[in-house]
Amino acid sequence: MANKITFIGAGNMASAIIGGLIDSGVEPSTITATAPNDNELATIKQRLGINTDTDNNAAVADADVVVLAVKPQIMRNVCEALRDSVQRQQPLVISIAAGLDADTIDQWLGGQNAMVRCMPNTPSLVGYGASGLYANAKVSDAQRDVATQLMEAVGIVEWVEEEALLDAVTAVSGSAPAYFFLMFEAMEEAAVKLGLPAATARRLAIQTALGAATMAQRSDKDPATLKQNVMSPGGTTERAIHHMEEAQLRTTIADAMQACADRAQAMATELSGK
Ligand SMILES: NC(=O)C1=CN([C@@H]2O[C@H](COP(=O)(O)OP(=O)(O)OC[C@H]3O[C@@H](n4cnc5c(N)ncnc54)[C@H](O)[C@@H]3O)[C@@H](O)[C@H]2O)C=CC1
Ligand SMILES: O=C(O)[C@@H]1CCC=N1
């Protein structure tokens, strides 16, 4: 693992990854996070025991890895203000911003940087993250290993060799925790209508998702077969699944994921000015 990691931004995604890193045994004193707001930093410092700084340049000065974890809309300003420090220090730069391409961020940072683009997701906080990674030509094999180790500390890693595929990764895993949370909300609401207390419904729905995910992960059977195994002919599950298929659930999911990937691409165009 890298000696010193600096996170520029200390919000939802950065704190999820930092929390996961610490749980996996990374020494908190090797991690620094920055944000403009002292209160936000005091909270994360108290909770995770890491170093914090309101000065991005100071935090980059001795970093081996810099993780850019600010909103895409402010990335340009943040990077341009970091240009001199990054050019001096030459760290491995990892951007987790949706959409923005490696080349654009590299240019904002002065060019010629070893850049990894990563699309993580918030379950990194509990060690069940799923990240897609892409490296530009400046990234060495050793730096690729560092990026892999960093994100494997909080979940699974898949490398893509075509940068555009990160938009598909955003659709299938980056944004996808929200799809499952929506499903939990909908199942809880429906179960309450069927008469269950909300807390009971929530517990049962979440445990069932965990069970289904664990089975799908451990089984050598594909999801279609596992689904079929639950569906007794003429039984209850068949009725429910039939209803979902009739309501075009698959099309809804495909359309939603297409909209997600399209939005990533549109954000890149809007923000890079290309
Ligand atoms: N939330 C998610 O599920 C995922 C988010 N991402 C990406 O992660 C990035 C961060 O997203 P979130 O953590 O959700 O946003 P957030 O709003 O929770 O965090 C943004 C952080 O940036 C800090 N910040 C603002 N201005 C700054 C500056 N000038 N210098 C340093 N820090 C500054 C804020 O104080 C905050 O700590 C985005 O680019 C997003 O596309 C990627 C995958 C999943
Ligand atoms: O919604 C977003 O834009 C970010 C990127 C992936 C998940 N959250």
The one-digit pLDDT tens for each residue of the chain (274 residues) are 668 999 999 999 999 999 989 988 999 999 999 999 999 999 999 999 999 999 999 999 999 999 999 999 999 999 999 999 999 999 999 999 998 999 999 999 999 999 999 999 999 989 999 999 999 999 999 999 999 999 999 999 999 999 999 999 999 999 999 999 999 999 999 999 999 999 999 999 999 999 999 999 999 999 999 999 999 999 999 999 999 999 999 999 999 999 999 999 999 899 887 7
Tell me, using a 6 A CB cutoff, whether residue 26 lines ligand 2.
Answer: no
ipTM, 2 dp: 0.97
Q: Which residues line ligand 1 (CB under 6 A)?
A: 8-14, 34-37, 40, 56, 69-72, 74, 78, 96-98, 119-122, 174
Q: Say how many Å lie between the CA of residue 174 and the centre of ligand 2.
A: 6
How many residues make up the chain in this entry? Answer: 274
Please list the alpha-helical segments (H only) found in the chain.
12-23, 38-48, 56-60, 72-89, 102-108, 141-152, 165-169, 176-193, 198-218, 223-230, 236-246, 249-272
Q: Please give the domain boundaries of the chain with CATH numbers for all domains.
A: 5-166 (3.40.50.720), 176-265 (1.10.3730.10)
Tell me, using a 6 A CB cutoff, whether residue 174 lines ligand 2.
Answer: yes
Tell me, using a 6 A CB cutoff, whether residue 136 lines ligand 2.
Answer: no
- Go through 47-67 and write b for each residue having 16 or more CB atoms within 10 A of its CB, e for each that does not: ebebbbbeebbebbeebbbbb
Reported pTM: 0.94
Tell me, using a 6 A CB cutoff, whether residue 143 lines ligand 2.
Answer: no
Q: Whose CA is closest to atom 8 on ligand 2?
A: 175
Task: Tell me what pLDDT residue 273 has.
Answer: 77
Distance of alpha carbon 236 from alpha carbon 217, whole angstroms:
25
Distance of alpha carbon 23 from alpha carbon 7, whole angstroms:
17
Tell me, using a 6 A CB cutoff, whether residue 170 lines ligand 2.
Answer: yes
- Determine the atom of ligand 2 nearest the C-alpha atom of 264: 3
Distance of alpha carbon 183 from alpha carbon 171, whole angstroms:
16
Pairing of strands 129-135, 115-119: antiparallel
Sign of CA dihedral 174, 175, 180, 181: positive
Q: Is 135 exposed, middle or buried (0-12, 13-18, 19+ CB in 10 A)?
A: buried
